[in-house]
């Protein structure tokens, strides 16, 4: 195996790593903005739930590569525009999170909600400062699944010429450089593990009451 | 020109439906690779999942392996295997089966592990041997989750089997790769549409199959939903909350 490839191409690797991060994490942030109100809606109203939950299941069924290719036709973007990948991954992440958030909110004990109401919390503030924080552990679990999936899905985009570290796979195949492909695999997995660990830590940080219970138990 | 119209023209043109590169052949190739990969995944994952679920030993290994494999980039794995083994069906099937293993492993393990302990105890109390407990009690009870895993795995494999075309194989991915090379967007979009439709069709068939084979006693009214998705959404709504196997929570993540 030709290992000199790696030191000679550090700049390129860093550039692709940045592209990979952008393509996989921006969708998670956008999706969070959409999924929280949708999840709230799905939890609040039965008709909304009856539409949102099956719809997100259906969206999740569409293969990512197919979505990458079909979106330019729908959005009018160029086939190699990063917008396609970002929109596609945002759709998956929203689909996954809506259900997660709806379930998490439904699992908030009704007595806690009642207590907050009795203490004079208005519905909006009650949602933000009582229900949402209690939903954080489940929300973080959903975010971890979505983020790891996104990081691994982005590289498939390399087939249509846009896939962050996936570019190392197609390039390594055409030029027959196994070390290039191996570098791509290792970096993708490391990125996924790192993102997962960061989210886990952030979730722990955001739920100090859980931490206290864990150490007490 | 309108893209939708172009796609319609492509899909309704007779020339695209006949011969060795016609849609029916490509669909069969796609299903063939996917089926082999799923089969290989089942052969590897189910015995391990059952053994670990039944004995409760090594569960952290299952959880770790299922999550670790999920982070592997499929395209990179396939290309590496092709460079190592040469172009052939084996690297394609191997790479795709790696996708099938995590949901199958998680489904089987969680299914067997989540069987109500009192049911298992009752079976032992009735004098069943360990193998009978496994085959006649644990496996039928685990079936909903196992099949949930099979559905997830099948979906993942079919969605990704398009990568086979990149290493000179057939399947519906050919339309994506060839379309890109020939700058023929209608062909690419039609291929993408066909892959999505195939995935939806297989999902529907498996959902019906699941309904047909799962014991009526486990359907609605039971303590868990038979259609619970093991590897996909709702990470924390594990099938039976507060089961005697708290380590399960990790499976879904």
pLDDT of residue B24: 93
Rg of chain A, C-alpha, whole Å: 20
Question: A142 and chain B: CB distance < 8 Å anywhere?
Answer: yes
pLDDT tier at B34 (50, 70, 90 boundaries)? Answer: very high
Q: In whole angstroms, what separates CA A2 from the centre of its chain? A: 35
Share of chain B above pLDDT 90, in %: 46
pTM of the model: 0.82
Per-residue three-class SS string for B181-217 = HCCCHHHHHHHHHHHHHHHHHHHHHHHHHHHHHCCHH
Q: Are A63 and B160 in contact (CB < 8 Å)?
A: yes
Contact present, B108 and B66 (Cβ < 8 Å)? no
Tokens of B195: 């892959």
What mean pLDDT, rounded, does chain A reach?
90
Contact present, A167 and A158 (Cβ < 8 Å)? yes
Taking every pair of C-alpha atoms in chain A, what is the biggest distance, in angstroms?
Answer: 69
pLDDT of residue A3: 78
Between A75-89, B200-214, B223-237, the lowest mean confidence (pLDDT) is in B223-237
The larger pLDDT score, comparing residue A199 to residue B250, is at A199
- The values of phi and psi at residue B81, to 5°, are -65, -40
Question: A156 and chain B: CB distance < 8 Å anywhere?
Answer: yes
User: Which residue from B minimizes the CA distance to A164?
Assistant: B73
How do residues B86-128 score in pLDDT, each as one tens digit? 888 999 999 999 999 999 999 999 999 889 889 999 999 999 9
Instruction: Spell out which residues of chain A touch residue B236, defining contact as CB-CB under 8 Å.
Output: 100, 103-104, 137-138, 141-142
**Residue B19 predicted with pLDDT over 70:** yes
Q: Are A172 and B232 in contact (CB < 8 Å)?
A: no
Contact present, B133 and B73 (Cβ < 8 Å)? no
Q: Min CA distance, B19 vs chain A (Å)? A: 23
Task: Give the Cα separation of B33 and B74 in Å (integer).
Answer: 15
Tokens of B192: 């993408």
Among residues A136, A158, A39, A169, the alpha carbon closest in space to that of A97 is found at A39
Question: A56 and chain B: CB distance < 8 Å anywhere?
Answer: yes
* Nearest CB partner across the interface for A61, out of B75, B163, B199: B199
């Amino acid at each position: 195996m030709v290992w000199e490839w790696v030191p000679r191409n550090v700049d390129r690797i860093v550039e692709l790593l940045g592209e990979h991060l952008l393509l996989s994490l921006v969708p998670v942030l956008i999706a969070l903005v959409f999924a929280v109100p949708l999840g709230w809606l799905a939890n609040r109203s039965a008709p909304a739930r009856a539409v949102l939950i099956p719809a997100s299941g259906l969206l999740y069924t569409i293969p990512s590569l197919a979505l990458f290719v079909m979106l330019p036709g729908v959005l009018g973007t160029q086939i190699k525009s990063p917008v396609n990948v970002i929109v596609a991954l945002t759709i998956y992440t929203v689909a996954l999170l809506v259900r997660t958030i709806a379930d998490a909110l439904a699992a908030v004990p009704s007595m806690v909600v009642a207590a907050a109401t009795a203490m004079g919390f208005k519905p909006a503030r009650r949602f933000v400062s009582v229900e949402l924080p209690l939903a954080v552990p489940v929300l973080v679990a959903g975010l971890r699944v979505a983020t790891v999936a996104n990081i691994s899905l982005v590289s498939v985009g390399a087939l249509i010429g846009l896939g962050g570290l996936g570019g190392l796979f197609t390039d390594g195949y055409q030029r027959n450089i196994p070390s290039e492909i191996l570098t791509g695999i290792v970096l993708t997995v490391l990125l996924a593990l790192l993102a997962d660990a960061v989210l886990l830590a952030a979730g722990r940080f955001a739920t100090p009451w859980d931490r206290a219970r864990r150490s007490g138990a | 020109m309108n893209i939708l119209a172009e796609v319609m023209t492509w899909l309704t043109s007779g020339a695209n439906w006949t011969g060795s590169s016609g849609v029916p052949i490509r669909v069969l190739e796609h299903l063939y690779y996917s089926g082999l990969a799923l089969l290989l995944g089942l052969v590897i994952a189910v015995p391990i999942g059952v053994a670990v679920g039944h004995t409760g030993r090594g569960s952290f290994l299952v959880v770790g392996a299922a999550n670790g494999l999920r982070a592997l980039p499929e395209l990179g794995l396939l290309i590496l295997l092709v460079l190592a083994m040469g172009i052939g069906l084996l690297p394609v099937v191997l790479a795709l089966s790696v996708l099938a293993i995590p949901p199958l492993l998680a489904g089987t393990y969680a299914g067997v592990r989540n069987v109500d302990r009192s049911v298992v105890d009752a079976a032992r109390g009735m004098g069943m041997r360990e193998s009978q407990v496994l085959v006649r009690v644990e496996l039928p009870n685990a079936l909903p989750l196992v099949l949930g895993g099979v559905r997830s795995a099948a979906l993942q494999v079919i969605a990704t089997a398009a990568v086979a075309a990149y290493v000179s194989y057939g399947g519906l991915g050919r339309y994506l790769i060839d379309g890109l090379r020939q700058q023929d967007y209608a062909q690419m979009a039609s291929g993408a549409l066909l892959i999505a439709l195939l995935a939806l069709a297989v999902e529907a068939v498996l959902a019906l199959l699941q309904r047909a084979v799962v014991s009526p006693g486990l359907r609605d009214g039971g303590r868990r939903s038979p259609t619970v998705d093991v590897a996909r959404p709702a990470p924390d709504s594990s099938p039976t909350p507060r089961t005697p196997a708290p380590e399960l929570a990790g499976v879904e993540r």
